[in-house]
Amino acid sequence: MIETNFAGTTPDITAQNIEALKSLFSEVCTDGKIDFEKLQQLLGKEVDTSPERYNFTWNGKSQALHLSQSPSTGTLIPCKEESKNFDATQNLYIEGDNLEVLKLLQKTYHNAVKMIYIDPPYNTGNDFVYPDDFKDNIENYLELTGQVDSDGKKIGTNPESNGRYHTDWLNMMYARLRLARNLLTDDGAIFISIDDHEQANLKKICDEIFGEDNFIAQLIWERAYSPKNDARFVSNSHDYILMYAKSINNFLIGRLDRTEEANARYLNPDNDSRGVWKPSDMSVKTYTASCDYPITTPSGKVVEPPGQ
């Protein structure tokens, strides 16, 4: 079988930004360079140079920005022997480092993706390590940075004792979200799963990358149906999904009609005046006998825990 290599350099995003700036303000270009003093004069009072202006920054942010704009010379290699209906399918599965893949997708899918959903590491202290440097092949890189052992098994973590616990995660996310935004259509949207560890920081970088005006909602996702009776303070049973539009003025949400199957889950066997309802689970995922207690229903019936 003959393998086909899709090689080449990804678009130079910095050069594209400069060309876009030139098209808007041709007078700021001098000897092929951007004259920022002249640009500030053209923008007038809209330029904020105060050292105490509102901004969100961290160690390595400028490097992460540069990383997102630097071209890649990576290659996508089709694996037809591992594929199903390769020549006719409309689906694409890519295995590799997501930063390099996002750069490679800029060529073909720039401003072409209607919806993006990502489930990034939550930075809980043991779910990722991501120092970005791809001058070497990925296998050797992972071993040299201590992320995997000699057999390729993952061994690295990002513990809270790390002095840059949050900044390492922010640097990883910042570069990738900037590239993801470029892929969205003008009426597209992105959905990002997260929990309490980095929710606040994710919201700030998304406000910067996508724009505060393009924030749609912070959706609540119930990840655990039963309460945790052994929780130290509050039994938290949900995570979040941040939702941003590429351009709020172009975005239209698509709603699904409620199905008969969904409606059938709600009944009213006791003729409650408030309408149909659905019972909740009274059991708990993490059982402790000392936490058992009876529940008295509105009718006065006492319900004991299962097994009593």
Structural contact between residues 145 and 97, judged by C-beta atoms closer than 8 angstroms? no
pLDDT tens-digit map of 3-61: 444 556 677 777 777 777 777 777 777 776 777 777 777 777 667 777 777 889 999 99
With helix as H, strand as E and coil as C, how does 141-202 read? HHHHCCCECCCCCECCCCCCCCCCHHHHHHHHHHHHHHHHHHHEEEEEEEEEEECCCCHHHH
Structural contact between residues 194 and 242, judged by C-beta atoms closer than 8 angstroms? yes
Rounded to an integer, what distance in angstroms lies between the CA atom of residue 308 and that of residue 306? 6
Tell me if 161 is assigned to some domain: yes
- What domain range is 157 assigned to? 81-254
By DSSP bridging, strand 302-303 and strand 295-296 are antiparallel
Tell me if 179 is assigned to some domain: yes
Tell me if 51 is assigned to some domain: no
Low-confidence ranges of the chain (pLDDT < 70): 1-9, 32, 45-46, 125-164, 282, 307-308
pLDDT at 282: 66
CATH, residue 176: 3.40.50
Tell me if 189 is assigned to some domain: yes
- How many domains, the chain? 1
Structural contact between residues 142 and 153, judged by C-beta atoms closer than 8 angstroms? no
By DSSP bridging, strand 29-30 and strand 33-34 are antiparallel
Tell me if 155 is assigned to some domain: yes
Tell me if 164 is assigned to some domain: yes
Helix, strand, coil percent values for the chain (each to nearest 5): 30, 15, 55
pLDDT at 148: 56
With both helix axes pointing from N to C terminus, report the angle between 98-109 and 165-183 in degrees, rounded to the nearest 10.
Answer: 20
pLDDT at 128: 55
Rounded to an integer, what distance in angstroms lies between the CA atom of residue 303 and that of residue 237? 24
Rounded to an integer, what distance in angstroms lies between the CA atom of residue 24 and that of residue 218? 35
Tell me if 234 is assigned to some domain: yes
* Surface-to-core class of residue 90, CB atoms within 10 Å of its CB (0-12 exposed, 13-18 middle, 19+ buried): exposed
Rounded to an integer, what distance in angstroms lies between the CA atom of residue 38 and that of residue 293? 73
Tell me if 176 is assigned to some domain: yes
* Surface-to-core class of residue 64, CB atoms within 10 Å of its CB (0-12 exposed, 13-18 middle, 19+ buried): buried
Element (H, E) at 117: strand 113-118
In the chain, count of helices (H) and strands (E)?
8, 8
